[in-house]
């Protein structure tokens, strides 16, 4: 019983000694690392805001997205390097000789390097994606057969969230083509079918009037760059004459504006007696 008491006392003393020396140092390392990480983020953010010059063709919102994307990438890289250093310091404080670990990491790095061509490809592609400003956080893009809002861009991967809320993580090296639907400006490109018996000139006047009213509405005018208007007769369909409506909106606002335009056109067409036909099938008696 006395021996157990001595062992407990010895362990308590040595544990307390370790906590007061190494344990406190480890806690301080973690706290300092966290503080440095936050400071680095603010420093990088401030530097990016000053260093990135407006292109002259993009809106303030677009430039802000570009700055946020670059800030996120640089901050993420800085955090990764910082926590590698913090990890090495903690391991060293635990009494582990880090020299063999670093030497071993170098050997492993050489071995991994032979199979790391895909990682290198991802990083190189990521650098060019950022440098060329192909898309930014918040943009709506299509990459291959996946479309969604860009949630994150790093040197290695791009993360999209689609309309269903599904998150898609795409290695940058696999990106062959990107289609950005919210860069610079967006466009209303709408086809509407009217009846063959309707006066096209009247249809054009109604469309132009509705588009102009929408562009002057205080609730919508800040989202519209060019009022939606009749462009041309686009097609003679089986049961309708298809007309094309064109306009321009602020980046990313085309879906909301187009939806409101459809709603107003339906009300205006009903009021003016303009038919929006549905497909019809005519059966002929063979007698």
pLDDT in tens, 212-242: 999 999 999 999 999 999 999 999 988 899 9
Residue 278 binned pLDDT confidence (cut-offs 50, 70, 90): confident
Strand order in the sheet with 186-194: 186-194, 241-249, 224-236
* Pair of tokens at residue 212: 């102009």
Whether 16 has a pLDDT exceeding 50, the answer reads yes
Residue 72 binned pLDDT confidence (cut-offs 50, 70, 90): confident
> Which pLDDT score is estimated for 194?
94
Share of the chain above pLDDT 70, in %: 77
> In the chain, what are the domain boundaries?
2-115, 128-180, 186-272
Residue 83 binned pLDDT confidence (cut-offs 50, 70, 90): confident
> Which pLDDT score is estimated for 1?
47
Mean pLDDT of 242-252: 94
Mean pLDDT of 20-27: 75
> Which pLDDT score is estimated for 2?
43
Q: Taking a C-beta distance cutoff of 8 angstroms, is the pair 223, 178 a contact?
A: no
> Which pLDDT score is estimated for 265?
96
Q: What is the pTM of this model?
A: 0.63
Domain 2-115 has CATH 1.10.287: yes
Lowest mean pLDDT among 82-91, 175-184, 202-211, 267-276: 82-91
* Other CB atoms within 10 Å distance of the CB of residue 14: 10
Lowest mean pLDDT among 75-79, 143-147, 177-181: 75-79
Name every residue whose Cβ is closer than 8 Å to that of residue 252 and which is 6 or more positions away in sequence.
138, 139, 140, 181, 182, 186
DSSP 110-132: HHHHHH-HHHHHHHHHHHHHHHT
Given the DSSP bridges, would you call strands 140-143 and 178-180 parallel, antiparallel or unpaired? antiparallel
Residue 286 binned pLDDT confidence (cut-offs 50, 70, 90): low
Mean pLDDT of 65-86: 79
DSSP 1-41: -HHHHHHHHHHHHHHHHHIIIIIHHHHHHHHHHHHHHHHHH
Q: Taking a C-beta distance cutoff of 8 angstroms, is the pair 36, 28 a contact?
A: no
For the domain covering 186-272, report its CATH number.
Answer: 3.30.70.100
Whether 105 has a pLDDT exceeding 60, the answer reads no
DSSP 99-115: HHHHHHHHHHHHHHHHH
CATH architecture of the domain covering 128-180: Roll (2.30)
Residue 122 binned pLDDT confidence (cut-offs 50, 70, 90): confident
Strand order in the sheet with 167-171: 167-171, 157-161, 146-153, 140-143, 178-180
Whether 73 has a pLDDT exceeding 60, the answer reads yes
In degrees, rounded to 5, the angle at the alpha carbon of residue 237 between the alpha carbons of residues 232 and 242 is 25
């Amino acid at each position: 019983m006395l021996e157990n008491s001595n062992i407990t006392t010895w362990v308590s003393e040595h544990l307390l000694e370790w906590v007061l020396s190494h344990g406190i140092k480890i806690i301080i390392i973690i706290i300092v690392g966290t503080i440095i990480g936050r400071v680095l983020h603010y420093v990088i953010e401030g530097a990016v805001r000053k260093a990135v010059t407006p292109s002259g063709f993009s809106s303030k919102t677009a430039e802000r997205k570009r700055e946020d994307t670059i800030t996120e990438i640089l901050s993420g890289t800085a955090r990764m390097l910082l926590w590698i250093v913090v990890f090495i310091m903690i391991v060293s404080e635990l009494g582990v000789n880090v020299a063999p670990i670093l030497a071993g990491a170098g050997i492993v790095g050489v071995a991994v390097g032979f199979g790391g061509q895909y990682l290198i490809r991802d990083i190189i592609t990521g650098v060019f994606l950022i440098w060329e400003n192909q898309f930014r956080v918040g943009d709506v893009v299509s990459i291959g057969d996946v479309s969604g809002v860009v949630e994150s861009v790093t040197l290695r991967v791009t993360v999209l969230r689609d309309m269903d809320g599904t998150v898609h993580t795409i290695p940058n090296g696999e990106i062959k083509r990107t289609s950005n639907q919210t860069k610079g400006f967006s466009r209303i490109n709408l086809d509407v079918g009217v009846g063959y018996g309707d006066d096209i000139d009247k249809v054009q006047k109604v469309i132009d009037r509705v588009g102009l009213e929408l562009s002057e509405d205080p609730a919508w005018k800040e989202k519209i760059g060019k009022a939606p208007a009749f462009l041309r007769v686009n097609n003679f369909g089986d049961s309708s004459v298809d007309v094309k409506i064109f306009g321009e909106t602020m980046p990313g606002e085309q879906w909301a504006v187009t939806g409101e335009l459809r709603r107003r056109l339906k009300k205006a067409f009903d009021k003016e007696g303009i038919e929006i036909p549905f497909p019809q099938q005519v059966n002929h008696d063979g007698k």
